[in-house]
Structure 1
């Protein structure tokens, strides 16, 4: 829908303001707010009405409304002291005072073309631009017909050529997307066959991964199964005659190749046994005789490999340093034998690397200091396409030096890893419409109680030590903020108000409950629980793991040095960073229940560390990603099994094996007395979409 607001054209579908050939992109919430104002001009609208209509009744603060109003004013270049668009009525609300009229949508003009103004060829029927003037001009001698048509054809060719050049030189903007799947689960990793007729995709249902082959014309499906194994992701060969895919569970990991004819599959051919617990991506190279895949051993980071299917030779590719989960995300260039690798560096800057598969030459294209994921080559191979910052609701394009940032598509749902469509124009992605709730599990009775239920993600819920409170992270206000929950009466209070793109990974209370430590992508924040005042720890940007309070004024965590993890202490009063005892990689301080991991990967317990002799308990359980996963509470031990089944396990020494308490879809949990806090995916779905400019 388009609206003419004074001399500004507002397009809600493309989320743009166009003023004097300048195109301004709006964020999704600002689009919703401006669209509501346009639908109700010159009417006093209270904050409660805005929250109900624009935020769909979600719990937001007055500050969130004020911030969004301020952002919209800046986009409109509106002075609140002498408003031309939005007038404020204190304690009453707002009124949109500009002249507004709805206009029919005209032909779509790509954003790239908005940067250049072409001078039209004057004719006897050309309208005079509003506010301008025209001087009638008659040639002294009329042009001969052939000559006139020659000139007209030349000019038309130049205009068309220039338009094609502009369109080719800069990425296209897509104003909408259409759903390709409508499954009840979470659909991931789409790949359309080279002839455009069939879709491969994974779907997660009831904690199990399924792989489907679907004919797009009639949506007839075939599930690709391997008994007892989750199946996917999968990719087509360049000629569309074969697919390669992963089939795995906690004990098994295999890559298979199968021939495909329509919806008929050949027999599976096992081409590689990968280490158990490895769930890496896989793709053919531009040859059907080679596959590229990511695998890991145990809890080590992922590495990239190339397998020659004829000789069986496996080669580790030249690749960036392994940080965090390692090198999991890669994409093959649409025409060249080059790989794009998305990889964080030790400072946690996301780097995008080009690997020439023929020469083995690895080069850094650019880095972004942002929580941003999953770069792929653009359709023309001359740009990169990425998701936006967390929570990602748009697809972005950059040139190969990291400049010329452009929005390709902007939606209202959270997007996940894009992929090129085989039509050479569009992109595929997963759009998620779901959220995490917080559950309180009673260990004695086995009962569940729903603590936090909203339309946005609530996660990382953590018990206070000495009061009936919990802290959690929520996107209720549009960005990840830290909140407090009173467990007695359910009252929720927002503690922070930063409204930026930070993404929290871990959250924990100080021993006296006066502070919270919040681990983000590459920073560690300390939050005063009473005031909400937040300070960033004065430490280098790096991958931080295993955060723990050693005392009320000392934080402990680990950094990687010379390929080994080293314990550090951060002293809050003076910001001093002190290297810890070189014997230890990680320490989780919890009084007599403290857990220690030495450089030989041996697990210890207690204030005076003693070796853990139980064969069920081992070092691999201690961490899940960057947070502690193994908790001890007296004689009881708790841990999450992690991906793919996320079972919550409980163990007491002497038991034959750990018992499973419940199944979740998130690894984070916290235990206090006989209760566990954990996150659970609420009823929702994630489907696969294709961009379109129709």
Structure 2
């Protein structure tokens, strides 16, 4: 049976929506969600009802529901802009708010033979799926049960836990108000601490649940503070001036703190041990100076033993797990993983580590050096913490989804309109000719490159996942070039063909076409520091251009304009001599700046996007920084508009996962 929904034909068999001459193919979850709405037309469906009817009662976060609703609304919006199909009932649920009419169409009739065959296929499929789930989850003697622990409006992140079940986390409402909250996993009572997370950040509760360590920044610099919960007092314990992006971890005996930090965003992270009694700071990890961007970026201290784990970034698909004795600082284990991690924590009662890679939760056994997936979440994992609750090992997981939309700012009219919006994370737009846009999106559950033209999107098919990779079109917008694991590739937009230009050994990162769209200017650290290189495609040669640093470069009128990895400023290279031309050019613009017809477009923090004229040496502000601006933008080829990425409000909660096999 097909349906007419507000003039839109819903073809159930083909899983499509059609209005006039435009058709939209529905993803499986969008199709299942719409079927539930159709069967319950006019009824308000709560989130719990949707979880039961659409997700079969599986563990689903609020953000996953929001994303599914948003994606289905987007399909209708693309067909009938401005017409409402799904209404939100505040604090209650959703309803399909348009008339549903059955649409009779001739369909082939199934004989009994085909019905029996279909039933057999369904039965076999269910058995296979059931067997896969049984094998996938090692705790097969029991069900891994995920329960909601928080349900505030907004985002709950940065979860840490004491041994007695006091859970500390940051809660940010949709209005942007930040709170630092402690909630007992035993009594479920919670209270807000008189600390502003913006002024007391990187907060982490100690194992005994009596103190909180955090970072206070202000006019006096960076300070490591201790907050006593019972007396509501703060004490300065260490001056951390010169260290940025700090994360903390308590040693289990509470006599030391472990600090992850770096000098600036041009240097990799390192790990330090701060002895509280003597305020002696000792560096633990010593990543190589050319370590790619992150260095040793995750830390986790065992709650009861002298064990510290940290993760070293190797490549975009590789990382290295280090475990050391937190007293003697001797290395106990080094283990390479074929993926990166975004959160780690120790088990509360044994020598196992819980590792998170996006939505996948792994268990790593320190003794056997083996890891395996124990659960797949519906949303990315932000942070992890464990505690023993009534002698049972519990894992606290903060899950979240980030979504962004593309907004277009008309420079002359000073007006803004939405260019593209869905429930996915859309990033790094590139405006091409003929009103075509390219951008990276995880709409298909991985980071792919997409083309968008005439309100139609198309995923770029590549022999690998594109990932969060910078890419650059040539001047005719017929090709784009990008790197993958240090090698350089070229994609032809018209044919969809991908060609490898040169090998991984050159360690290329940021690639731009030169003025003739033939040769390539790229950055590489193959000489032990980031420099600009020129690849000549005629003779297949590589020539080093800079000697004092270079990271992202464009050619214009026979000169090379470039940024540096470790220094702010925009520079010009002419006759092997470099000169600074824009001093107030932050290294936040390493990659995200453009040179169009002698005009340099770049971003200034708290200000917006500026235009610098290379001929007249004058500059002007062309777009003030809009709300929730992520610093990612593209200037249209005719310089009439700027399309930028705007972050959308997040929704996330903390959940509890029971880990004991006998529960």
TM-score (norm 2): 0.70
State which of 456, 464, 469 in structure 2 corresponds to 1:505: 469
Verify the 8 A CA contact 1:248 1:279 in the aligned structure 2.
no
The Cα shift of 1:561 comes to 4.3
2:157 is aligned with 1:191: no
Instruction: Tell me what 2:204 maps to.
Output: 235
The Cα shift of 1:282 comes to 0.8
Change (3 A) 1:657 1:485: closer
Distance in 1 between residues matched to 2:539 and 2:518, nearest whole Å = 10
Instruction: Tell me what 2:652 maps to.
Output: 686
The Cα shift of 1:501 comes to 5.2
Matched residue pairs, number?
A: 544
Distance in 1 between residues matched to 2:421 and 2:507, nearest whole Å = 32
Structure 1 stretch displaced more, 444-453 or 542-551 = 542-551
Secondary structure of residue in 1 paired with 2:164: coil
Verify the 8 A CA contact 2:485 2:504 in the aligned structure 1.
no
Verify the 8 A CA contact 1:631 1:638 in the aligned structure 2.
no
Secondary structure of residue in 1 paired with 2:458: strand
Verify the 8 A CA contact 1:188 1:201 in the aligned structure 2.
yes
2:403 is aligned with 1:435: yes
Change (3 A) 1:535 1:350: farther
Secondary structure of residue in 2 paired with 1:668: strand
Instruction: Tell me what 1:565 maps to.
Output: 530
State which of 421, 440, 444 in structure 2 corresponds to 1:473: 440
Distance in 2 between residues matched to 1:370 and 1:411, nearest whole Å = 17
Verify the 8 A CA contact 2:179 2:196 in the aligned structure 1.
no
Q: How does 1:506-655 map to 2 (within 5 A)?
A: 506-519=470-483, 524-540=488-504, 544-550=508-514, 551-561=516-526, 563-570=528-535, 578-591=543-556, 595-597=561-563, 601=567, 603-606=569-572, 608=574, 611-612=579-580, 614-617=582-585, 620-623=587-590, 627-628=591-592, 634=598, 637-639=601-603, 641=605, 648-650=608-610
Change (3 A) 1:309 1:654: farther
Verify the 8 A CA contact 1:621 1:630 in the aligned structure 2.
no
Structure 2 unmatched ranges of 5 or more = 1-11, 18-23, 32-70, 76-109, 111-116
Change (3 A) 1:356 1:186: same
The Cα shift of 1:222 comes to 0.9
Distance in 2 between residues matched to 1:541 and 1:688, nearest whole Å = 43
Distance in 1 between residues matched to 2:148 and 2:643, nearest whole Å = 35
Q: How does 1:235-384 map to 2 (within 5 A)?
A: 235-248=204-217, 252-261=221-230, 266-275=232-241, 278-299=244-265, 300-321=267-288, 322-345=291-314, 349-362=318-331, 365-379=334-348, 381-384=350-353
Q: How does 1:19-418 map to 2 (within 5 A)?
A: 45-48=13-16, 52=26, 54-56=28-30, 97-98=120-121, 100=123, 175-201=144-170, 203=172, 210-215=179-184, 217=187, 219-226=189-196, 229-248=198-217, 252-261=221-230, 266-275=232-241, 278-299=244-265, 300-321=267-288, 322-345=291-314, 349-362=318-331, 365-379=334-348, 381-388=350-357, 392-400=358-366, 404-418=370-384
The Cα shift of 1:655 comes to 7.8
Distance in 2 between residues matched to 1:669 and 1:401, nearest whole Å = 48
Change (3 A) 1:469 1:333: same
Report the structure, 1 or 2, having the larger strand content: 2
The Cα shift of 1:386 comes to 1.9
Verify the 8 A CA contact 2:608 2:621 in the aligned structure 1.
no
Structure 1 unmatched ranges of 5 or more = 1-43, 62-86, 88-93, 116-166
Larger Rg: 1
TM-score (norm 1): 0.67
The Cα shift of 1:293 comes to 1.1
Change (3 A) 1:678 1:583: same
Distance in 2 between residues matched to 1:395 and 1:573, nearest whole Å = 48
- Root-mean-square deviation over aligned CA pairs: 4.3
Instruction: Tell me what 1:31 maps to.
Output: none
Structure 1 stretch displaced more, 201-210 or 184-193 = 201-210
Distance in 2 between residues matched to 1:377 and 1:542, nearest whole Å = 38
The Cα shift of 1:243 comes to 0.9
Verify the 8 A CA contact 1:518 1:524 in the aligned structure 2.
yes
Secondary structure of residue in 2 paired with 1:55: helix
Distance in 1 between residues matched to 2:377 and 2:282, nearest whole Å = 40
Distance in 1 between residues matched to 2:579 and 2:450, nearest whole Å = 38
The Cα shift of 1:685 comes to 0.9
The Cα shift of 1:295 comes to 2.0
State which of 620, 641, 645 in structure 2 corresponds to 1:675: 641
State which of 482, 495, 501 in structure 1 corresponds to 2:449: 482
Distance in 2 between residues matched to 1:394 and 1:204, nearest whole Å = 27
Per-residue CA deviations over 1:333-385 (Å, capped at 9, x if unaligned) read 24322221111236863111122232332365221233443343344553432
Distance in 1 between residues matched to 2:566 and 2:168, nearest whole Å = 47
The Cα shift of 1:636 comes to 5.8
The Cα shift of 1:580 comes to 4.2
Instruction: Tell me what 1:18 maps to.
Output: none
The Cα shift of 1:668 comes to 2.0
Instruction: Tell me what 2:88 maps to.
Output: none
Distance in 2 between residues matched to 1:251 and 1:522, nearest whole Å = 41
Distance in 2 between residues matched to 1:633 and 1:100, nearest whole Å = 63
Secondary structure of residue in 2 paired with 1:441: strand
